[in-house]
A = this chain, B = another copy of it.
Amino acid sequence: MASSTLFSMCSSKRESFDIKAINSNKEFKFNTTSNLLNRLPVKAMLSSEFTNSRLLTDENSLKWGQSERFLRNRMQCHAVPAYPTGKKFQLDDVIEAQQFDRETLNAIFEVAKEMETIEKNSPGSQILKGYLMATLFYEPSTRTRLSFESAMKRLGGEVLTTENAREFSSAAKGETLEDTIRTVEGYSDIIVMRHFESGAAKRAAATAGVPIINAGDGPGQHPTQALLDVYTIEREIGKLDGIRVGLVGDLANGRTVRSLAYLLTKYLDVKIYFVSPNIVKMKDDIKDYLTSRGVEWEESADLMEVASKCDVVYQTRIQRERFGERIDLYEEARGKYIVDKGVLKVMQKHAVVMHPLPRLDEITVKVDADPRAAYFRQAKNGLYIRMALLKLLLVGW
């Protein structure tokens, strides 16, 4: 085994990477900008003469070839700031709606728009060639999984699929999420993860050396849904500042409407209307947050009046599973606010109806044929947003 001396090195998701080392009397230098950090250099090292050789540092005698996380946690960093000029933004993981500021949202949307123009077999359709995405789903969500896998493949990337990830942590085996992540990151360049526990994605990102995308973690976050909702408003209405949005249906439990309300605070002069059965009203935390950010909001029991004033009527499904035994309450709630031809009649010509899908009958099928029915276009926008995120996380801006 050859011996190497490490002179300087930095490894973190957020800074650039600078390495000088001597291996068998040959001097090596590495430098890389940060968004490639966790992948390329370590891979380069793994596959270079450094593999399994030793790094002599103050602290210890270390081996190359160990997990990136180890390097990140153990090494003292002497980082050179990356992207000193012309830097747009930095994206390491996609975990929660709260991580995005207005500038970042705009940048993602700009890339998503490029994604809409990528044609079969054009150069753009191969920008992720050679990259491997693992979809690590602890519970099935076929819709979300297909959207991510389509996004990856539309860009020339490849996919490892599992909807069976609970098997990793089955009773008999009992592996921790952290161990699973460290195994799967050895097989892939990025992990799209769906979990049944709130906070799981954050834990995964803390462990992983490859980027993590949260595709929903229990009652917690589903940030790509939030992004595609805002993107759809911008594509359909042409603006986000000054927008009037009516949120309708189950506002207590629906994480999409909560995240959307949150993200709309990034824009100016927004007004939000809440229209919901009493039993599933928007909770105070979001209302207070809107107020604290100077966003106007109003509760209303009159869908027709709200629909006539809004740019966007965002309908959601009343989730039966929230009502337990009280089917009577569920039936009462779900029938209360239906988007139908009557609602369309009072809506403005430029306005649109959105819905995160799947729907039951809270939007009648007759609405589908109206050009203002935007929900299937919204689903398609999910593809473009996910293409954009995969590009940004894997090859950067």
- Chain A interfacial positions (CB closer than 8 Å to B): 1, 43-44, 46-48, 51-52, 60-63, 65-67, 70, 73-74, 116-121, 125, 129-132, 134, 140-143, 145-147, 149-150, 153-154, 158, 160-165, 167-168, 172-176, 178-180, 182-184, 186-188, 235-236, 238, 317, 319-321, 349, 357-360, 365, 368-369, 371, 373, 376-377, 379-380, 383
Give the chain B neighbours of A65 by CB distance below 8 A: 377
Residue in B closest to A131 when the chains form the complex, CB atoms? B120
Give the chain B neighbours of A359 by CB distance below 8 A: 175, 179
Residue in B closest to A64 when the chains form the complex, CB atoms? B371
Q: Are B130 and A142 in contact (CB under 8 A)?
A: no
Q: Within the assembled complex, what's the spacing in Å between the Cα atoms of A349 and B132?
A: 35
Give the chain B neighbours of A187 by CB distance below 8 A: 146-147, 149-150, 383
Give the chain B neighbours of A121 by CB distance below 8 A: 129-130
User: Majority SS of interface residues in chain A?
Assistant: mixed
Q: Are A116 and B51 in contact (CB under 8 A)?
A: yes
Instruction: Given the known inter-chain contacts A125-B130, A132-B153, A187-B150, please indicate yes or no for A172 contacting B47, CB distance below 8 A.
Output: no
Q: Are A377 and B140 in contact (CB under 8 A)?
A: no
8 other A-B residue contacts (CB within 8 Å) besides A52-B238, A146-B160, A149-B160 = A43-B119, A52-B377, A62-B371, A66-B377, A74-B369, A142-B164, A183-B357, A187-B383
Q: Are A146 and B134 in contact (CB under 8 A)?
A: yes
Residue in B closest to A161 when the chains form the complex, CB atoms? B161
Q: Are A167 and B142 in contact (CB under 8 A)?
A: yes
Residue in B closest to A119 when the chains form the complex, CB atoms? B47
Residue in B closest to A49 when the chains form the complex, CB atoms? B117
Q: How far is the CB of A238 from chain B (nearest CB, A)?
A: 5
Give the chain B neighbours of A357 by CB distance below 8 A: 175, 179, 183
Query: Sorted from nearest, which 9 A-B pairs have the closest CB atoms?
Result: A175-B358, A150-B187, A120-B130, A186-B380, A47-B117, A121-B130, A153-B158, A63-B371, A173-B358
Q: Are A116 and B46 in contact (CB under 8 A)?
A: yes
Give the chain B neighbours of A153 by CB distance below 8 A: 132, 158, 160
